[in-house]
Amino acid sequence: MTRLLMLLFNRPGKGTYWRALGFAQELVKRDYEVTLLAVAANRRWGFAESEVNGVRLVESPDLMPRSGYDLWDVANRLTWVHKRPFDLIHAFETRPVNILPALLARRQQQIPLLTDWCDWFGRGGSVEQRSNFWLRTILRPVETFFEERFRPGAAGTTVINQTLWQKARDLGIGPERLLLLPNGANVTDIQPQDKTAVRARLGLAEDAFILGYTGAMFAEDAQLMAAAFDQIQAALPQARLLLIGYTNIAVEETVREKTAVIRTGPVPYQTLADYVAACDLGWLPLADNAANRGRFPMKVHDFMAAGRPLLVSDLGDLGQFVRQQAIGRTAAANPDAQAQQLLGLRQQPQLLDEWGQKARHIAVTQLAWPVVTAQLDQFYRQLL
Cα distance between residue 237 and residue 205, in whole Å: 12
**Mean pLDDT in residue range 19-39:** 97
Per-residue pLDDT tens digits for 252-304 = 999 999 999 999 999 999 999 999 999 999 999 999 998 898 889 999 999 99
Cα distance between residue 322 and residue 285, in whole Å: 13
Cα distance between residue 247 and residue 76, in whole Å: 31
Phi/psi at 313 (nearest 5 deg)? -65, 140
**pLDDT score recorded for residue 129:** 85
Q: Does position 114 have pLDDT exceeding 90, yes or no?
A: yes
Cα distance between residue 121 and residue 137, in whole Å: 13
Place 42 in a pLDDT band, splitting at 50, 70 and 90.
Answer: confident
**pLDDT score recorded for residue 83:** 85
Cα distance between residue 295 and residue 317, in whole Å: 8
- Least Cα distance to 244 among 198, 220, 276 occurs for 276
CATH class of 2-118+150-184+368-383: alpha beta
Q: What is the distance, to the nearest Å, from the Cα of residue 122 to the centroid of all Cα atoms in its chain? A: 17
Residue 256 per-residue DSSP state: S
- Per-residue burial over 94-119, b if 16 or more Cβ lie within 10 Å, else e, is bbbbbbbbbbbbbeebebbbbbbbbb
Angle of helix 316-325 relative to helix 162-170, nearest 10 degrees? Answer: 140
How many other CB atoms sit within 10 Å of the CB of residue 1? 8
Q: For residue 17, what are the contacts with CB-CB under 8 A and spacing of at least 6? A: 8, 10, 11, 36, 38
**pLDDT score recorded for residue 133:** 87
**pLDDT score recorded for residue 41:** 86
Query: For the chain, give me the number of helices (H) and strands (E)?
Result: 14, 14
**CA-derived radius of gyration, the chain:** 21
Residue 363 per-residue DSSP state: I
The identity of residue 102, as a single letter, is: A
Percent of the chain exceeding pLDDT 90 equals 88
Query: pLDDT averaged over the chain?
Result: 94
Q: Does position 360 have pLDDT exceeding 90, yes or no?
A: yes
Per-residue pLDDT tens digits for 193-229 = 999 999 999 999 999 999 999 988 999 999 999 999 9
Q: For residue 7, what are the contacts with CB-CB under 8 A and spacing of at least 6? A: 37, 77, 89, 90, 91, 92, 97, 98, 101, 102
Place 65 in a pLDDT band, splitting at 50, 70 and 90.
Answer: low
Q: What is the distance, to the nearest Å, from the Cα of residue 280 to the centroid of all Cα atoms in its chain? A: 22
How many other CB atoms sit within 10 Å of the CB of residue 157? 25
Q: For residue 220, what are the contacts with CB-CB under 8 A and spacing of at least 6? A: 129, 287, 289
**pLDDT score recorded for residue 59:** 96
Q: Does position 66 have pLDDT exceeding 80, yes or no?
A: no
**Mean pLDDT in residue range 123-141:** 87
**pLDDT score recorded for residue 125:** 84
Q: Does position 383 have pLDDT exceeding 90, yes or no?
A: no
Residue 254 per-residue DSSP state: T
Q: Does position 127 have pLDDT exceeding 90, yes or no?
A: no
Question: Would you state the CATH architecture of domain 195-367?
Answer: 3-Layer(aba) Sandwich (3.40)
Is pTM, for the whole model, over 0.85? yes
Domain ranges of the chain: 2-118+150-184+368-383, 195-367
**pLDDT score recorded for residue 286:** 95
Angle of helix 269-278 relative to helix 195-202, nearest 10 degrees? Answer: 130
**Mean pLDDT in residue range 344-372:** 96
Q: How far is CA 360 from CA 78, 282, 302, 303, in A?
A: 43, 13, 10, 8
Question: 45: exposed, middle or buried (C-beta count within 10 Å: 0-12, 13-18, 19+)?
Answer: exposed
Q: Does position 335 have pLDDT exceeding 70, yes or no?
A: yes
**pLDDT score recorded for residue 246:** 87
Per-residue pLDDT tens digits for 136-171 = 898 999 999 999 999 999 999 999 999 999 999 999
The identity of residue 375, as a single letter, is: Q
Cα distance between residue 25 and residue 54, in whole Å: 7
